Chains A and B, each alone.
Chain A
């Protein structure tokens, strides 16, 4: 139901956009009357393609029952030059969904006297809490490293800078080991996701991509950047946003604990005492 509704909306959107575009082209096509006719007839350049995209939902609530959520990033290529029903042969689309950057500490264990303990650490100033890339084919096949770096597409190009003098004594290779460990650990928690074939084309200009947000995703705004590639270059990009926020009991408890820690602690104590006493009353009656 949801799926077909989304596709329907996308199709309408695309039709409407095309009509606007078509009327604009007609207006350009009629030349001003008092100019001399051009001597050399050049074929008119096709208008540049642009990409527009949106997310299936604008805001998501993280409640006590939150077990993750799937969002759909969908969009359309305007002025698609692709042959009918085959946008994939002509274009590539990359969708990057990124969470709020947070400072994190990465630690490395080593053996000290038979016991494994954290011996070195590094603080990264800002690491995206969540980072998902979905693309119509593996990103290495879409564009060269310089292009990917410029647009921060791909795990290798996530901006991750050591804070202050943190990690000052480390060699480049050690720094790289910490970096790749952060990415590996985030991937293991499903917070960094790579979907090399996660973007599907529909017809000559529509595309969609399903991105799974895991239950442990940190709350905050998510930014979905959609890139349209042709011949290894970005021809257009679009940004859409979705916000995750705490709701229900989850929100109440979390905010209370962090904003009024003393009152929260006091209530925790009261709850514990009351539930302990209640239990003893209940079971005494049963056994009596």
Chain B
């Protein structure tokens, strides 16, 4: 059954979209990630305009993160104060990202910029995860103990001004680094249509030294609010949020995530991380390939966007 998407202005098979949402939902349930980094490129491959894929992605991520964030909040796994600082930064970053997106679309360089962002971030994160998971799988095989993270170390992060006390995280640090991290993630969210958990979680653990128990909850807290703001800004500035498309993806994603979570329980953490790293690198390589290989058609046409060049 074909369905006409009102904002993407194209007719797509609804079953295909449901399946796509379901598959991405399955993987996100399996790995415990948002899945935006898979969904947005897949929508672009399907022929959805890049701007609509990115804008609609933020709405889908909002829906898929909200229940997780509520659950974490109920279990008291959210450092609300830290979350607020991250959100404040995130809103600024999102605003910059959405505005930059409009300018880049007028210049005709938005698709290129999105692809370069994807290649850079997915390449770096995927490579780091791959190295880490292979290392820990090897250590386990050879019977060595997995080194635990040392706490109480001080880094350059602790020398900055505007110190704040984050009770839940048992931290007394400057508000600048969390705000910067939040802003960076908000910017990525707007440009790439991702939640940004894959950057925020490691940054909170390694840079801010937030206890792992509150990292997931706090990052979900940030994602929910920043995604809500991003969805709103995308709708206003770029008119690139397709509610019909998002709803189909949400329905598929919710169902898929249930199966994914069940399947994920049967696999070991290191194995999951290795598979996720491989998947991330695969998406990265695919996008890089499209950038570098000589295109079959070097011309493209598009509508004139707001005022022209």
Question: Which residues of A are in contact with B by a Cβ distance under 8 Å?
Answer: 62-68, 102-111, 114-118, 121, 123, 163, 177-178, 181-182, 184-186, 215-216, 218, 246, 249-250, 253-254, 257-258, 261-262, 264-269, 271-273, 275-277, 279-280, 283, 287
Contact = CB atoms under 8 A, between A and B. Distances in A.
A253 B231 CA distance: 16
A63 B297 CA distance: 32
A280 B67 contact: yes
Nearest to B237: A261
Contacts of B71: 280
Nearest to A68: B11
B241 A264 contact: yes
B94 to A, nearest CB: 12
A177 B2 CA distance: 35
Contact of B258 (A109, A269, A283): A283
Interface string B232-247: 1111100101011011
B291 interface: yes
A140 B30 CA distance: 61
B235 to A, nearest CB: 3
B299 A275 contact: no
Contacts, number: 185
Interface in B274-309: 291-295, 297-305, 308-309
23 contacts: A67-B11, A105-B304, A106-B299, A106-B300, A108-B299, A110-B298, A118-B300, A123-B304, A163-B308, A181-B297, A216-B11, A249-B6, A250-B6, A261-B239, A265-B233, A265-B236, A268-B59, A269-B228, A272-B59, A272-B228, A272-B250, A280-B70, A283-B258
Contacts of B258: 283, 287
Counting chain B CB atoms within 10 Å of each CB, the highest count among A103, A108, A123, A279 belongs to A279
A270 to B, nearest CB: 9
A215 B6 CA distance: 12
Nearest to A282: B254
B218 interface: no
Interface residues of B, number: 56
Contact of A109 (B60, B232, B295): B295
A109 to B, nearest CB: 4
Contact of B241 (A68, A114, A257, A279): A257
Contacts of A186: 301
A249 to B, nearest CB: 8
Given A116-B291, A265-B235, A276-B66, A107 B9 contact: no
A261 B309 CA distance: 23
B130 interface: no
B108 interface: yes
B4 interface: yes
